[in-house]
């Protein structure tokens, strides 16, 4: 796989060594068991896969290259390049200006752009409408378009579904940049609608089998479907694609459920004409990180620390997986670990910041699960681990531990 030139300050010598050792042992990524680093006073259980994915590293490389190659031009980011506050803040400190916030609200009007300005398209991509507006202004976006290849893969799959007269069901968070972009591209080739979870999939199923009247469809899915969409007509053929950062298992469960609904309506002989198999839209990195989290949870621990941006969808899903098994804290950096008694963290369900006292495990040698989202630099995870080592009064250096005590959980 291609390697990217990303700034050294986003890397961690410690984590790089652990990842390199695992890659050498398991180049095909078949082993999802964690890496256990025994510090004597405590253990750190690192997920097999975490941190920057292909799409994020690609976006970071292109963004910094845009700054380097255009020292005399104003460089803009269409919106947050990725969902990580440190990365976005650093780019802003270097002179990049943001045109929109994460929800698509204008921070600066696009009308201020001149043809020679540099505009970076973020890893999430952008809507067809926004791209057309930029093109009308004479802005050339092709050179610094950081749209993740796996997001573009979803768009291509959606285009094929539309060309074959299937309506496109998008599993995603309706307000997320990527979902908005995927919806925009999908409706170019066919009918499209967004559902956010399995509950909404079941609601859709009730319409399909006649348990709910089509007349109430708009009450449930208002503003979630494309113009001219007639559900009783357009949902006779459908396929499922996803926002690539959603839980892969949930996307697959939704697709399997809707497949079952179409099977019940049209029968074994005909349902394939009404339901398209779209397994190939699942992002490998999202799936690897989620499988690695499931793998680490099987080995047991006392507490989980998940590091990443609070508006990061893929990170929140790792938190969701961990919360089902053990106490879990979602932090954005080491500063949230205030003391051995107090931790600041984020409740992704309620979308609010919290503080918890007495979070440190009361045992002689606690084990901490540590992982992070696909947009979180390893350097931030490293600093979180360093804080844990300070609180745990660890006496040996990381270098010594890596040399003498690092073992792969069997």
Pairing of strands 352-357, 342-347: antiparallel
User: What three-state secondary structure class fits 193?
Assistant: strand
The Cα 302–Cα 73 span in angstroms is: 51
Q: Give per-residue burial for 117-150: e unless 16+ CB within 10 Å, then b.
A: bbbbbbbbbbbbebbeebeeeebebeebbbbbeb
Residues 6 or more apart whose Cβ sits within 8 Å of residue 323: none
Nearest CA-CA partner of 169 in 136, 192, 149? 192
Q: Active-site residue 362, yes or no?
A: no
* Angular region, 351: left φ>0, alpha ψ -120 to 50, beta rest: left
Residues 6 or more apart whose Cβ sits within 8 Å of residue 377: 9, 10, 11, 51, 52, 84, 86, 87
Q: How far is CA 187 from CA 166, 196, 200, 239, 279, in A?
A: 11, 17, 20, 13, 20
The catalytically annotated residue of 57, 178, 200, 320 is 178
Residues present in the chain in total: 410
Sheet holding 35-38, edge to edge: 328-331, 303-307, 367-372, 43-46, 35-38, 406-408
Residue written as token pair 């989290």: 293
Count helices and strands (H / E) in the chain: 14, 15
Catalytic machinery residues: 178
């Amino acid at each position: 796989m291609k390697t990217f030139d990303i700034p050294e300050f986003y890397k961690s010598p410690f984590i790089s060594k652990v990842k390199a050792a695992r890659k050498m042992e398991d180049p095909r990524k078949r082993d999802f068991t964690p890496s256990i680093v025994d510090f004597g006073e405590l253990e750190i259980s690192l997920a097999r896969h975490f941190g920057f994915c292909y799409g994020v590293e690609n976006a970071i490389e292109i963004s910094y290259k845009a700054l380097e190659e255009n020292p005399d031009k104003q460089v803009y980011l269409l919106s947050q390049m990725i969902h990580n506050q440190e990365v976005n803040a650093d780019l802003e400190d270097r002179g990049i200006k943001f045109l929109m916030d994460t929800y698509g609200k204008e921070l600066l009007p696009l009308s201020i752009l001149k043809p020679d300005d540099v505009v970076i398209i973020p890893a999430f991509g952008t809507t067809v409408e926004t791209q057309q507006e930029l093109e009308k202004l004479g802005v050339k976006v092709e050179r610094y378009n950081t749209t993740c290849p796996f997001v573009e893969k979803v768009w291509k799959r959606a285009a094929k579904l539309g060309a074959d007269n299937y309506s496109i069901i998008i599993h995603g968070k309706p307000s997320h940049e990527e979902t908005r972009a995927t919806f925009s591209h999908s409706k170019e080739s066919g009918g499209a609608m967004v559902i956010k979870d399995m509950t909404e999939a079941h609601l859709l199923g009730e319409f399909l089998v006649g348990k709910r009247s089509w007349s109430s469809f708009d009450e449930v899915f208002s503003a979630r479907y494309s113009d001219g969409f007639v559900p009783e007509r357009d949902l006779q053929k459908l396929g499922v694609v996803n926002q690539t950062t959603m839980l892969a298992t949930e996307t697959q469960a939704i697709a399997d459920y809707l497949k079952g609904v179409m099977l019940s309506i049209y029968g074994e002989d005909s349902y394939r004409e009404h339901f398209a198999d779209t397994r190939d839209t699942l992002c490998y990195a999202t799936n690897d990180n989620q499988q690695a989290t499931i793998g680490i949870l099987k080995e047991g621990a006392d507490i989980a620390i998940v590091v990443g941006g609070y508006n990061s969808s893929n990170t929140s899903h790792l938190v969701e997986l961990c919360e089902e098994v053990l106490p879990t804290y979602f932090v954005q950096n080491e500063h949230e670990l205030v003391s051995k008694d107090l931790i600041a963290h984020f409740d992704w369900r309620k979308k609010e910041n919290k503080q918890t006292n007495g979070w440190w495990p009361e045992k002689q040698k606690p084990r901490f699960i540590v992982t992070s989202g696909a947009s979180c630099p390893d350097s931030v995870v490293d600093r979180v681990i360093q804080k844990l080592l300070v609180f745990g009064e660890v006496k040996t250096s990381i270098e010594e531990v890596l040399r003498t005590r690092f073992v792969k959980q069997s």
